[in-house]
Structure 1
Amino acid sequence: MKIGIGSDSNGIAYRDDLLKFVNELGHEAEVVLLQENEDYPDVAVALGKKILNQEFDRGILICGTGIGMAIAANKVPGIRAANITDAYSAERAELSNHAQIITFGQQVLGFNLVKELVKINLGETFVDGRSTPKIERIMTYEKELKNITVSGIN
């Protein structure tokens, strides 16, 4: 698989080490870098677009907590991103949710744990089954709700 890896300034150390690790697992990994010191929304959206354009099969994003990256990546229509903190979630992000992007927090998870979670996730392959209708429903909601204007939220 071809894997895109991106981070903001809070995830650079993990990003660079994960690049080596993912390549060692036998995948083709590449850093998504628009310019130095990108903010997480820019990197997350850029990687999401590259996945939709089939430049990458999956993606890994790292920021301080992983939360901001997941929120931003999920704004790209058609992308499903999951913030991963444990082995079961790493597995289910692919098997139940067919998430194209996984996110991590460099400030909240140790690197050895992140490597194990990446290995678990990249070792799984989504198969159509009982989760398929749920994913399709999510995508239907995404299409229905994309033109709603939200006001009063700061």
Structure 2
Amino acid sequence: MKIAIGCDHVGIEQKDLVIKHLESKGIEIEDFGTHSTERTDYPKYGLAVANAVANQQADLGILICGTGVGISLTANKVKGIRAVVCSDPYTAALSKEHNNTNILAFGSRVVGIELAKMIIDSWLGAEFEGGRHQGRIDMIAAIEEA
């Protein structure tokens, strides 16, 4: 499995810890930055990760900014992306099971690193259930085509 990861300057410290956590599980990482605490704009990194996932350069993506909101809004503008902001493991798991999310976002100002690891593990451990949920995913995809 390969995960694309990106953050703005607010999320850099947490991003580095998340990378270590994922690598300890044998997951390959592609880091799209930022690589500095110098102020930067989150849309750059949200777009880079979303494009990597949409183009199948990575299987999944993880995004981090102050709240997770702005960077996930950016990612969701890319066709085929279903990014979710999560602050708890339950929502993370259900987002994958019901919505087949392919990008997880969270805020470094909202969740600490240990909770972030639990959210990530819950999300990665969940599987899309298909069935009645597939019809809803198809509806979302149709909106992208409108």
Q: Which residue of 2 aligns with 1:18?
A: 18
Write the letter of the residue equivalent to 2:54.
Answer: L
The one of 49, 63, 66 equivalent to 1:64 is: 66
Conservation of the 8 A alpha-carbon contact between 1:3 and 1:56: yes
Q: Separation in 1 of the partners of 2:60 and 2:45?
A: 14
Is the CA contact 1:64–1:105 (under 8 Å) kept in the aligned structure 2? yes
Q: Provide the TM-score with structure 1 as the length reference.
A: 0.88
Task: List aligned pairs for 1:33-48, cutoff 5 A.
Answer: 33=33, 36=36, 37=38, 38-48=40-50
Query: How does 1:4-153 map onto structure 2 within 5 Å?
Result: 4-33=4-33, 36=36, 37=38, 38-144=40-146
Three-state SS of the structure 1 residue aligned to 2:104 is strand
Structure 1 consecutive aligned stretches of length 4 or more whose deviation exceeds 3 Å: 34-38
Question: What code does the residue aligned with 1:19 have?
Answer: I
Bigger share in helix = 2
What do the CA deviations read for 1:102-125 (whole angstroms, capped 9, x no partner)?
101001111100000001101112
Query: Where in structure 1 are there 5+ consecutive unaligned residues?
Result: 145-154
**CA RMSD of the aligned region, Å?**
1.4
Number of positions where the alignment pairs a residue of Structure 1 with one of Structure 2: 144
Contact 2:7-2:34 within 8 A present in 1 as well: no
Contact kept? 1:18, 1:115, Cα under 8 Å: yes
Name the amino acid aligned to 1:5: I
Q: Secondary structure at the match of 1:131?
A: helix
Give the residue type in structure 2 aligned to 1:39. D
TM-score by length of structure 2 reads 0.93
Percent sequence identity is 39
Q: Does structure 2 conserve the Cα–Cα contact (< 8 Å) formed by 1:65 and 1:108?
A: yes
Q: Distance in 2 between matches of 1:126 and 1:107?
A: 29
Structure number, greater radius of gyration: 1
Answer yes or no: is the 8 Å Cα contact 1:19–1:30 preserved in 2: no
